[in-house]
Structure 1
């Protein structure tokens, strides 16, 4: 009833984005101390969104702040799970590498990941930029709070933040001895242990050490290997050393290491949709011809029969040094960091139990170096931040994809020829594409923002950023047949031959794309304090996301030659408009913040999927124009010491405004291509044997992965009790989230529409000074829902996917001193 009432209140308020904010007792400004004294429950939310400590209500931008204990209480232990608490986030993953983190529908092209482009949502951990989303999929370890900044942040952060930033702050070393330990057990053999200890080593040196381990049985049963897959097997370590000889100077040395080694990430059969392939070349007919029956056509039976090895081995780590030096009225900060990412995947790319693609893996190794200098100045009339950022990265990848014994019958069209190569397994069996590639990326930025306090109420805040980027890459694909012999597809082999069939699946290719660009961007924010607890603001930002290169191979032209023109991708050009209102009332027990925005992007970087085994799996291209607009709000109430509640929501309207040469969805693919000079005909979707458009105009259609409506909510009630001579509080909490339907394909398809769903979680426990014991149940009503859908290659109509977690339950014990 509480959850339903909160959700209805959220809908009635048009859209609420509220953060279960991080609150801590901190000294208040002298001018505000008397006012706060009359409101002992007034909440003070400290953030570093603008590279200095200030209260969240003073920051004239849309921001959600999630405290560490809220993350733990709701079971959201990594970036992927954060969208359950922050509705403007969209996080979708098929494995750690192919993870999309978007804000307001923008940030990363939805689909297969390429190293050649940048993310539009900057992910920072203790001021250190993580260049790959995959390199930030580690478990949260000893986290103090997470700030989700919505909208362009380029004048405050040194690397691409066209859609926003996720600023993660960990707990820092202390000169007071303290520690904490946590143990959680649950169904599905869930085990999680965390511990952290901090204290002084001398009068000027303090240290902190944290460790976490998470394991859980998989949620999908593979009948081929008789094992549960998509499990969790994570280990994380973090150590920090603080040297603080005086109050004006400090050096913090940090090191972290994270290892993930699950048997992951497999899919289940979800559905079949008709394409324009001949009917006897679509999924049901192909499967029947090989006497293949999927273990279940109900995805919520959670059964699969994948026959290739699965692995999502992920090693992430690095070291950093942060120096802070108070110089007069300002602070000079230097952040030096090195990070690595070692990715060792194995996948079943055909999504079936047949040996069609017997091997698919693209292990990668990344090294990144970053250096940031930043100076913060605070004065009576002028505050400013100015920074210099440098970044260097190299990624090496060694890919292998191999055809199996069932590939010929599945991928080749039978003929009446005596040499019917489609019925000969040896035609494609063992055919192997070996890919070698590397990427070098260099970036430098000068950025800054000035706050001019015209008077006590009005502040004008301009910002600017000058950015230089250079990218160069190399890609080589060598193809060998089942006998290990290198094949060549130049000149084009005669039609109907074994070599022609092999070249139709894999073609050798070499490319070395390279490009560089300068960009100047700027923003202007005007904010006015209408009253003590009411702040209004308006923002315009001219931003960009840097150029990209196609690093995973290039598509082919109509004459079967390599399209080298597709080697580079233009930068995105962003125009962003936003207005907002931040308010507190009821003696600051209640917070309500409202935001409306519009973002227009020219040359949006989109992922194009080839749809065939023989072409590049996915590459980048520029969509003409994209627009995202919506309304968000924050609401939280601390009604008393006994009851708190929040309700979060967002309305997001994100669509392609102009994308005339997009890849076609599966229902308009698979047939013989229409004439290159003909006007594309979209009138026969899913009609077997119909002619297929070479490309599709999807202007006006919604961006993938984005729900129009998203909500989250929560409430907690407690009563004082004494249990086993321990004074404390017994409490009951509820939290949940809802997302309306969305599409899981870059070009929206009727077959990849994902139904909306609502999840509800409960927790109940007893806490006192230094301890907390509680039980929890997540997805309490055991709702069936899909996390993502994937179109199987070959345009056979097969749609595979990953179902979300079923009901889980368990208990947690936490101690601190």
Structure 2
């Protein structure tokens, strides 16, 4: 995708022009000076955006961190009701999901490996809601609930936000309880039976006590039709509740008690036939020959017909909630904050792991229950010429996953070599069952500090450090039995048991431990030559926690390779140069940042190629590098028009990964001699290399070029006696080609695409009615492409949403 350099004039503090901050966008702490209405009006006129990225209230243009901010008005008007939608407004934010548990949130292409489900591994982008850390990225699939503002911090944030923020952090702020009575209701309807309703109300219960309640519900018919069940699958079915109490206990102490509950329960998530990509497996063991032998054909070979015939149950029950207590005490020279939280996550899935309408894998599910407890103490103080943040953080997580996979009557013919008589005996694998028990206890503790030392009026030096300790203990047990309930041994046995073991490998390891100390530190130098110009340079050393492979590890000759159970932490060195500028009386904002990130011991996914519960495990690649330039540009020449352009160029590669898994076109055949490159790629019957050197190749999920851009124009008008304005807006995002496989494959590159959205309506201060269309040009595109187990050459995928349209009505009071 070739794009002119001039289009690099893109976004900074907000992807949506110049969002006007609400007076309650960030509630000041007891020690903060209250913002008057005059301050708010002046701030709005100057296109200011207020953030809490450094754990204090600041103008975004004064913070030496690349930040994208989306306020409540932009979230509502663009239909960005979850992180997946939010990525369309922010070119360096990527979200990939085949189901809520198997999701990745990445920034600048870094964060978590695509396609990995592993309880013992951490994410690389921290998600925080009201200062509470969410340890599992499944929260990113839930609807935003009564949200005021979303800040996306790009680059390592390990000092203030802790471990596992090597790529950045998403800081979400909910609307706070108000001491003035207020409320809002919104209703949206659209094609594909889309229905969404949101409501919130807030007000005082007493002179010193205020409450806020919010509810949101979303439903939509699935985007894929299952001809086998007669149902539309990959649907939406979300509901969320949130409540908060604010108690002004004294003039210097505020207490906020919050609670929430969210549930998704759609018939989801199907990945459907995309294409056949030949591997090096014997031709009679690849997809065309196997389907012919079983008399099977997919409903359509065109994935954008959106048809499937998956025969196993599909479900994606995702339940999450919790409670938190935040205390803020004004000490005179600063604010002492305590955040105590408990979170739970219940995951109840059902999948079709053979990706066909054949009864190969008839049952596949790994339900999990997780609880986490966090406690943070933080003191933000200031003195003459400096300010600082000191804190301590503790985290505990308990996980229990109990999975089951069962093979069906077509499994023998699909999985066993046709030259064996066992392939024609359905009873060999029919009813073969693996029952998994996965457990993890995860503790983390940290001490941290950040100093901003002002050397004169223009120059600031900001060092930071965080010391972190991790303690993880995990177990993985997989018991495999045949249809009669007989145990399948780890090794040995008869030919029938060997074939069963090739399909589902039993194994066990218990009380595997990972314990380590790590230190993160950073140094930022910032220079402010004038009111509207900020220059900064940052070096950060951070890490992503090591962990345990709790999907199982390879078994060689009956021996469980427990030395592969532990995964080393990623070590990150990051350099950044940036400039934040405003001009034309702050009607225009132009920010630019250049970055260079090197990760040693990068946690990369490795697939073993079998059709088993061992879907993948992690190994450490030697080194990866991501570098690039981001620019953000927004302009508001008048009250009638605002526009923005955000973009990024990202260069990315595995610098050193000599023992990587091979792509499907170099897999499936008999093992080539060690060190050999193997036979011709994509030709059946060839020898396959044991490992592949993918040094110099792309990382998955990253486009070289990504852009988001949009504009809105309004004109004064009167409608039904209401004084207001008509408006017309549009936004779009474009990205170039990217790889969708851990080792880049000729079969799994996703071509670049552009998604355009439009809206038009009438609004007043408290009323809004508008029509909208998303993916207006019905761009056919894939969100994910994936190789399926067994090296049969079947490539599955998840098509993105087609064109959708509808109407939204909202009213505030």
Q: What TM-score results when the alignment is normalised by the length of structure 2?
A: 0.96
Alignment of 1:443-458 (within 5 A): 443-458=444-459
Match of 2:643 among 628, 642, 645: 645
Does structure 2 conserve the Cα–Cα contact (< 8 Å) formed by 1:16 and 1:711?
no
Match of 2:299 in 1: 295
Alignment of 1:22-61 (within 5 A): 22-24=19-21, 41-61=45-65
Match of 1:493 in 2: 493
Match of 2:415 in 1: 411
Runs of 5+ consecutive residues of structure 1 not aligned to the other structure: 1-6
Q: Distance in 2 between matches of 1:35 and 1:157?
A: 29
Does structure 2 conserve the Cα–Cα contact (< 8 Å) formed by 1:16 and 1:635?
yes
Q: Distance in 1 between matches of 2:41 and 2:202?
A: 32
Cα shift readout 1:612-653 (whole Å, capped 9, x = no counterpart): 114721111101101110100111111100000011111111
Cα distance change, pair 347–789 in 1 and its aligned pair in 2 (3 A): same
Match of 2:230 among 226, 230, 233: 226
Match of 1:619 among 617, 620, 638: 617
Q: Distance in 2 between matches of 1:31 and 1:669?
A: 63
Does structure 2 conserve the Cα–Cα contact (< 8 Å) formed by 1:25 and 1:44?
no
Does structure 2 conserve the Cα–Cα contact (< 8 Å) formed by 1:155 and 1:463?
yes
Q: Secondary structure at the match of 1:789?
A: strand
Match of 2:124 among 107, 113, 120: 120
Q: Distance in 2 between matches of 1:562 and 1:664?
A: 22
Aligned residues between the structures? 802
Match of 1:483 in 2: 484
Does structure 2 conserve the Cα–Cα contact (< 8 Å) formed by 1:22 and 1:46?
no
Match of 2:158 in 1: 154
Does structure 1 conserve the Cα–Cα contact (< 8 Å) formed by 2:243 and 2:258?
yes
Cα distance change, pair 33–479 in 1 and its aligned pair in 2 (3 A): closer
State whether structure 2 residue 314 is matched by structure 1 residue 319.
no
Q: Distance in 2 between matches of 1:338 and 1:30?
A: 31
The alpha-carbon deviation at position 40 of structure 1 amounts to 7.2
Match of 1:346 in 2: 350
Cα distance change, pair 775–499 in 1 and its aligned pair in 2 (3 A): same
Alignment of 1:9-24 (within 5 A): 11-13=6-8, 16=11, 19-20=15-16, 22-24=19-21
Cα distance change, pair 280–388 in 1 and its aligned pair in 2 (3 A): same
State whether structure 2 residue 104 is matched by structure 1 residue 100.
yes
Alignment of 1:80-99 (within 5 A): 80-99=84-103
The alpha-carbon deviation at position 387 of structure 1 amounts to 1.1
Q: Distance in 2 between matches of 1:25 and 1:401?
A: 51
The alpha-carbon deviation at position 561 of structure 1 amounts to 2.5
The alpha-carbon deviation at position 493 of structure 1 amounts to 2.7
Match of 1:267 in 2: 271
Alignment of 1:700-719 (within 5 A): 700-719=696-715
Does structure 2 conserve the Cα–Cα contact (< 8 Å) formed by 1:392 and 1:441?
yes
Alignment of 1:541-690 (within 5 A): 541-557=540-556, 559-614=557-612, 616-675=614-673, 678-682=674-678, 684-690=680-686
Match of 1:210 in 2: 214
The alpha-carbon deviation at position 301 of structure 1 amounts to 0.1
Q: Distance in 2 between matches of 1:489 and 1:133?
A: 34
Match of 1:3 in 2: none
Match of 1:502 in 2: 500
The alpha-carbon deviation at position 25 of structure 1 amounts to 5.8
The alpha-carbon deviation at position 74 of structure 1 amounts to 1.1
Q: Distance in 2 between matches of 1:508 and 1:642?
A: 66
Match of 1:430 in 2: 431
Runs of 5+ consecutive residues of structure 2 not aligned to the other structure: none
Cα distance change, pair 731–9 in 1 and its aligned pair in 2 (3 A): farther
Range with bigger deviation, 578-587 or 374-383: 374-383
Does structure 2 conserve the Cα–Cα contact (< 8 Å) formed by 1:556 and 1:563?
yes
Q: Secondary structure at the match of 1:265?
A: coil
Match of 1:767 in 2: 763
The alpha-carbon deviation at position 226 of structure 1 amounts to 0.7
Does structure 2 conserve the Cα–Cα contact (< 8 Å) formed by 1:268 and 1:304?
yes
Q: Distance in 2 between matches of 1:37 and 1:193?
A: 31
Does structure 1 conserve the Cα–Cα contact (< 8 Å) formed by 2:10 and 2:591?
no
State whether structure 2 residue 383 is matched by structure 1 residue 384.
no
Match of 1:735 in 2: 731
The alpha-carbon deviation at position 560 of structure 1 amounts to 4.8
The alpha-carbon deviation at position 520 of structure 1 amounts to 1.4
Q: Secondary structure at the match of 2:249?
A: strand
The alpha-carbon deviation at position 343 of structure 1 amounts to 0.1
Does structure 2 conserve the Cα–Cα contact (< 8 Å) formed by 1:263 and 1:310?
yes
State whether structure 2 residue 75 is matched by structure 1 residue 74.
no
Cα shift readout 1:166-193 (whole Å, capped 9, x = no counterpart): 0000100000000000000000000000
Match of 2:751 among 755, 758, 761: 755
Cα shift readout 1:779-802 (whole Å, capped 9, x = no counterpart): 111111111011110000000111
Q: Secondary structure at the match of 1:639?
A: strand
Q: Secondary structure at the match of 1:80?
A: helix
Match of 2:802 among 803, 806, 809: 806
Does structure 1 conserve the Cα–Cα contact (< 8 Å) formed by 2:508 and 2:560?
no
Cα distance change, pair 431–246 in 1 and its aligned pair in 2 (3 A): same
Match of 1:536 in 2: 535
Does structure 2 conserve the Cα–Cα contact (< 8 Å) formed by 1:104 and 1:654?
no
Does structure 1 conserve the Cα–Cα contact (< 8 Å) formed by 2:95 and 2:103?
yes
Q: Distance in 1 between matches of 2:527 and 2:294?
A: 70
Cα distance change, pair 39–672 in 1 and its aligned pair in 2 (3 A): closer
Match of 1:109 among 95, 106, 113: 113
Match of 1:722 among 718, 723, 728: 718
Does structure 2 conserve the Cα–Cα contact (< 8 Å) formed by 1:439 and 1:474?
yes
Match of 1:4 in 2: none
Cα shift readout 1:425-467 (whole Å, capped 9, x = no counterpart): 1010000000011111000011111000001000000000000
Misfit runs of 4+, over 4 Å: 7-11, 14-18, 25-40
Cα shift readout 1:755-788 (whole Å, capped 9, x = no counterpart): 1110111100000121000000001111111110
The alpha-carbon deviation at position 24 of structure 1 amounts to 1.7
Q: Secondary structure at the match of 2:500?
A: helix
Q: What TM-score results when the alignment is normalised by the length of structure 1?
A: 0.96
Q: Secondary structure at the match of 1:690?
A: coil
Q: Distance in 1 between matches of 2:229 and 2:356?
A: 13
Q: Distance in 1 between matches of 2:602 and 2:279?
A: 28
State whether structure 2 residue 695 is matched by structure 1 residue 699.
yes
